[in-house]
A = this chain, B = another copy of it.
Amino acid sequence: MLSKLVVIGVGLIGGSFALDLKRAGLVGQVVGVGRSPENLARAMQLKVIDLAEQDAATAVRDADLVLLATPVGQMDAVLARIAPALPRHTLVTDAGSTKRDVAALYRKHLGDSLDRCLPAHPIAGSDLSGAAAARYGLYEGRKVVLCPLPETSADTLARISALWQACSAHLVVLDAAEHDAVFAAVSHMPHLLAFAYMNTVLNRPDADTCLALAASGFRDFSRIAGSHPEMWRDIALANRDGLLEDLRAYRAELDSLIAQLQQADADGMTAKFERASQARSAWGKG
């Protein structure tokens, strides 16, 4: 039971975490912190939070747990602001999309008390954002990746794990570097590929006709190209080295396919398409 949970960044991720813990009776008061007074007012109105606070340092006084649920690009400033005000007993976790950089920020700002810090990444993204997107049950059956620091205490890991389990999430423990490599491949790279695809279509003189006739294949393939530009720029920059390696590997695969098509190499194309299709179909059934 937490007497006071502070959620910094009250959107889909942070708001849904608060809602589930409230419903489970695991938290007394939820204090929301954010830069937008309108979003905080909406969060109050929707009972996602009990109290709104503009200043993170003020909010974290007496907190049992602080969840950093802002974009990763804001976490340096947030940690700098709250570090001097954090009570010694307060646990700190986050929901950042990249983990090596966030781990480094804990080390920078809370280096003398890393035992109470747990970098984490709930896998529950959406096109939706803001407090109005928060909902009960968002994490049901979803994975939450925990990337404990060498210094994270077993008690911190156990207590935060219990909260995510109360949200019906499945926990996965990974090293931060392993996390970043995996999510470069299955999340960050496809976002960049989708942005590039959308711009390729927009560059065409017949772009309007293309968009008018685009159907379900286009819809799904390009969906993540509608994602938040600044958020994905920050993620891409935060995970730059791994992502560059992946994009180059993709380009090599694309070049090989272009060469096959150029040569009308039907067998080579069939082999490539079959490998992809079988694996994707198996994944869909898994």
Task: Name A residues whose Cβ lies closer than 8 Å to a Cβ of B.
Answer: 123-126, 142-143, 145, 172, 174, 178, 181-183, 185-187, 189-204, 206, 209-211, 213-230, 232-233, 236-237, 240, 243-244, 246-251, 253-255, 257-258, 261-262, 264, 266, 269-270, 272-277, 279-281, 283-284, 286
Cβ A181 vs Cβ B206 within 8 A: yes
Each complex incorporates copies of this chain amounting to 2
Chain B residue numbers with a CB within 8 Å of A226 are 277, 280-281, 284
Interface of A is mostly: helix
Given contacts A125-B216, A244-B262, A279-B198, whether A209 and B191 have CB atoms under 8 Å apart is no
Given contacts A194-B276, A225-B280, A253-B196, whether A220 and B218 have CB atoms under 8 Å apart is no
8 tightest A-B contacts by CB? Answer: A229-B273, A198-B276, A226-B280, A186-B214, A190-B221, A195-B276, A220-B220, A225-B280
Chain B residue numbers with a CB within 8 Å of A202 are 275-276, 279
